[in-house]
Structure 1
Amino acid sequence: MLQPVSSTLRRAVQNARFSAASTPTRALGLLLTYAVPHGCFLSTASTPRKMYGSTRLLRPMSSAGVQHGVRGRRAKRTVKNLDPNYLDFSDFIDLHGPNEVSVKFGTFSGRLFYHLPFIPFPEGSKGFLYLHKRLGLPAGAGEIRFRVVDTGSAFHSAADLFASGKDLLDHAGHRPWRIHMLQLYTTRTYDPIRRLLRSQGLIGESQDRDAEQRVSAVTLENIGRSDILDTISDTFVVQLPISTLRLAFIHDEYIVPPFIVSQQIHWRDKHQPGTIEGSKALWRLYKGEVYDASPSHQELTSLQYAHPDNSFSFFSGFAVVRFELKKVMRTKEFHNVKDDDVVLVLRILELLDPLGPDGVPFNLSHGGELAQREALGRCWSMSLDRARDSGIITPSSLKILEDLYLGDSASPDTADKMSPS
């Protein structure tokens, strides 16, 4: 058991994961210094891009940082600004501490949680809370993120320090830690954050009223524990195989609360080195596992993230996916369709844990492959009628997908492109 843990850790440190805002690895006490990214594209979709980087440990704060008034934020944890365009060194805070971190937003106090139940923010969680939002999205979209910065380097401005940082990853290590905007309207704990956003003009009065009306029309209990698509073309991360795919959608027309989109979604690799091509090639199931080991293991000393019960966990089998439209023919892969039907499919864009437990890498085709049903060799798909009835697709979201994958402006290599969320 210890050997798989070690290989997982090495891969976690060597591979960069997410976002133009970039993030720390699953070894959450580390920062990554990234080189020039590749494999990204422009569209309404927001997908991850591959990056390469080297690791360096967080160092104690330099005297330059102290001179700028950074020291002392750990104790007070006061946030007066969430606009990344107007940061000051006084906005710097340290979130590492107890399970529940108390932060003062403006004149009101609120609590922040890294992960429930009872996982504290990791060491090195020093940086800036900020509003991450893309233009043109409906009311209720967006999220609060935490930008981790290197306090061992001198910067002339808080903006430069922020730009050099990486977004904190969640406890599983594959997506940014966040408080979604919908949580600000459904969880009293986050009222102070919403008030600060309004006072800064980051949420306009009409936008705030629109979001309140949209949220009041649906039941959004435990919305923070769900994957939320701000737009239908966004990417999201799942651990395969997934027995129950549960998602929430923000459309121009309305918000769709979390519901079960599908069950039993898999992906199998049939292109392993050394196997016979064709019908005799072996299928290998891309499967997620959880590795646990004692933090006392010497190889893990500098990288460990200990839970309160002193266990150590890393997750595998994660993949980056997104919804697409595809015109299909009736084949073995799409057996329950008519020729030239347009269906909703789920494309796997990247395997975040490509090395299998046996040490043999999984091989995802260039541009990604379609997710599969439980039945061997069949692709997952959903008719447009069913997608409309369930709320996955509305007129506005259908147009987004049609423009991306079926319209005259759709590029023939759309499936090959990836960009960060």
Structure 2
Amino acid sequence: MQAIGNREQGNMSRRLLAASVACLSMLGLAGCRQDMHDQPKFFPQRGTNFYADGRSVRPQALGTVARGQEDEGSYYRTGLINGAEGDGLPVPLTADLIERGQERYNIYCTSCHSRTGNGRGMVVMRGFFPAGNLHTERLRSAPLGHFFNVISNGYGAMPDYQGQVTVEDRWAVVAYIRALQLSQHATTADAGGAKIEKMEDVEKAEGLSANFVKEWDLPATAGQIQKSQVMAAPLPQPMPQPAADAAKPAQVSEANPKSAPLASALPAGAKPTAATAAAAKTEASASVPSAAAPHAAAGDVANGQKLYTANCSVCHQPTRQGMPPMIPSLVGIVARVGAAHIHAQVANGSPTSKPPMPAFPQLSNENVNDIVAFLAASK
């Protein structure tokens, strides 16, 4: 009797377990509804039958203005006036604006340009492309729209920051850059009578190492040399032009042996042989430049070097080696493409190259001739 009772108790337990599992399964199935999965919604770039035109992405409603469209193309949003970089600050200049610009500058710009703006930031010191020195005469006299344009669209190896920095913050950075430039050449009158201290004096007072605030030398890497080496390099001299009467190679013949360069080496009264005549021809042709050889363009080489350093060296390097494959080398460029091509590139830029090359409308034809002369004279 006891065994029968145990069996009935075991069967009852199994039935209860099966019933529990069935109930849980029913609850689970009841909870797996497809409403959230099958809800009506629009998919990007797909059509729909909800609207009569079959488009899920709706066009802008007539009579409305999207955010940012109210002044699209204005100086405030482009830094340009009729396609040229303008000057002036389109926002009120306040201490808060300068402070905000300093904060954004320290976040986005110091890694390359450094906190002092000398272009010797930490990533540059570790081999990245050299950055522009904000304290050069060219950038100190550049209009404010230039800095806004560069921040928005990039320049040379510098990428654009319009996705990271808002329009308002870009103008704040521009204002701070100009304040940073002025701070290095400020007078007592500029500071409202406040005491102006030289950085060298602050350097000593803070116990910093000698020349701490000076420009730092970059590590010499491929395609780069230190600034001290660039300044010490002798100025290339123009290529000597051949004399007008040397344009034609000397003619050698048995009838006129004295016209050959080797005639003087023959014994008196000796008649040159075919071998000596051929040797004379070889020497004469080697001593006269080829008529097809390219000559340096007419221009001032010294001024061309100054213009190149101010406008071209930031990308193509002081050595003219460039940074291939991004930025091409200019060594031998005059012989390869000719002066006319260089004039066109400087005047129009190369907007489709990667990175794009800007145009240089500030350089006159005479300026470009000087640059071409410098490039042609450099080896």
Q: What is the TM-score when the length of structure 2 is the normalising length? A: 0.24
Higher RCO by CA contacts (8 Å cutoff, separation 6 or greater): 1
More strand by share: 1
Bigger radius of gyration among the two: 2
The normalised TM-score by structure 1 is 0.22
